[in-house]
């Protein structure tokens, strides 16, 4: 049964709410960031595989497509490693505020991947991003390591999201997600083997960590990815963009409530974060205005 737009919007808010807890889960799981991502990707791959089997959805793809999906999965895993690493060396507020620079990197990366023109207003918004980052760097120098890792996570997010926006036009989301998680599993396993972590022993999650890992891998990764793509096929890009932009706000608020003083930052940090977050909403509003302008000529021609 096809979902109504109201149902799709409610589901999207629920998905963004789940994503808002991802940073909290990463902080609470007592595992090094690389190992945390290793557990996450293979559990997610297994979960999607079981879902496809039970719902009789095909995972069949050409060798070329499998390699493409797996390659993007490697980039996705790198994004998560940098993101969780940022949280562990700084704090959640810093990681999420800087992660909002993803839209700026998308403005640079997406035209190359999608073979479209560079939008000049997005580059102008990039100057705001630089100003916001400069404030955070200047007044929170103790978190410079976390800021750099979060910037790397933002770049990787821009790359994999740009590729996924191409993939979803021709492939079902469960198939894309399965091979991406599989590719991430192979890549992170290879890294752990080469770095000697296999020989020294992989950390075994505690009962609490297992519970949080299952929520992270199955709910916040497998389910959220598949449901998110389905919702985006019903709602307009503008509605999706505005709603998804609430994720860092949710996370920072959750972190302040749960961790109190650990997450309180200088006033200049919040000014810098506000500048970064404002670019997300300005970008969405400008895109909405452009879409409206593009529709107006065809409507007027049809009317007259």
Instruction: Convert the pLDDT of each residue in 134-148 to its tens digit.
Output: 777 776 778 888 889
pTM for the whole structure? 0.82
- 147 contacts 99 by C-beta, under 8 angstroms: no
Least confident span in 46-50, 74-78, 155-159, 227-231: 227-231
Is the pLDDT higher at 125 or at 28? 28
pLDDT, tens digit, 9 for 90 and up, residues 174-221: 999 999 999 999 999 999 998 877 767 788 889 999 999 999 999 998
What's the Cα-to-Cα distance from 191 to each of 2, 38, 197, rounded to whole Å? Answer: 43, 10, 9
Candidate ranges 4-18, 33-47, 166-180; pick with highest mean pLDDT:
33-47
Q: Round the average pLDDT of the chain to a whole number and report it.
A: 82
pLDDT at 296: 54
- Return phi, psi of residue 98, to 5°: -70, -30
- Residue 286, token pair as written in the block: 């400008």
pLDDT at position 267 is: 79
Scanning the structure block, which residue is given the tokens 């790198």?
Answer: 78
Nearest Cα neighbor of 23 from 90, 122, 69 is 90
Compute the 3-state secondary structure of the chain and give helix, strand, coil in percent, each to the nearest 5.
Answer: 85, 0, 15
What single-letter DSSP state applies at residue 90? S
**pLDDT(24) > 80:** yes
* Alpha helical stretches, state H, 90-201: 92-99, 102-114, 120-139, 144-167, 173-195, 197-200
pLDDT greater than 90 at residue 73: yes
Asked if pLDDT for residue 268 goes beyond 90, the answer is no
- Rounded Cα distance between 2 and 120, Å, is 38
Question: Which tokens sit at 225?
Answer: 């990815």
């Amino acid at each position: 049964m096809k979902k109504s737009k109201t149902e799709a919007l409610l589901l999207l808010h629920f998905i963004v709410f789940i994503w808002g807890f991802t940073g909290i889960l990463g902080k609470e799981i007592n595992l090094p960031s690389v190992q945390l991502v290793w557990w996450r990707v293979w559990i997610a791959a297994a979960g999607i595989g079981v879902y496809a089997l039970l719902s009789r959805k095909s995972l069949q793809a050409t060798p070329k497509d499998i390699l493409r999906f797996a390659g993007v999965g490697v980039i996705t895993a790198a994004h998560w490693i940098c993101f969780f690493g940022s949280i562990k060396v700084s704090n959640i507020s810093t990681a999420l505020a800087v992660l909002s620079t993803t839209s700026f990197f998308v403005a640079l990366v997406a035209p190359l991947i999608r073979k479209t023109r560079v939008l000049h207003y997005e580059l102008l918004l990039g100057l705001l991003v630089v100003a916001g980052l400069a404030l955070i760097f200047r007044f929170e120098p103790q978190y410079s390591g976390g800021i750099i890792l979060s910037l790397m996570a933002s770049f990787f997010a821009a790359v994999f999201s740009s590729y996924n926006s191409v993939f979803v036009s021709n492939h079902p989301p469960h198939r894309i997600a399965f091979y991406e998680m599989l590719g991430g599993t192979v890549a992170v396993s290879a890294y752990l083997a080469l770095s000697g972590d296999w020989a020294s022993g992989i950390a075994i999650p505690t009962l609490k960590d297992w519970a949080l890992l299952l929520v992270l891998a199955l709910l916040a990764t497998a389910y959220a990815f598949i449901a998110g793509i389905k919702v985006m096929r019903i709602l307009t890009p503008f509605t999706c963009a505005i709603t998804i932009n609430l994720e860092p706000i949710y996370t920072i608020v959750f972190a302040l409530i749960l961790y109190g003083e650990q997450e309180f930052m200088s006033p200049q940090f919040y000014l810098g974060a506000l500048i970064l977050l404002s670019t997300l909403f300005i970008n969405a509003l400008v895109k909405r205005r452009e879409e409206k302008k593009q529709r107006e000529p065809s409507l007027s021609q049809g009317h007259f």
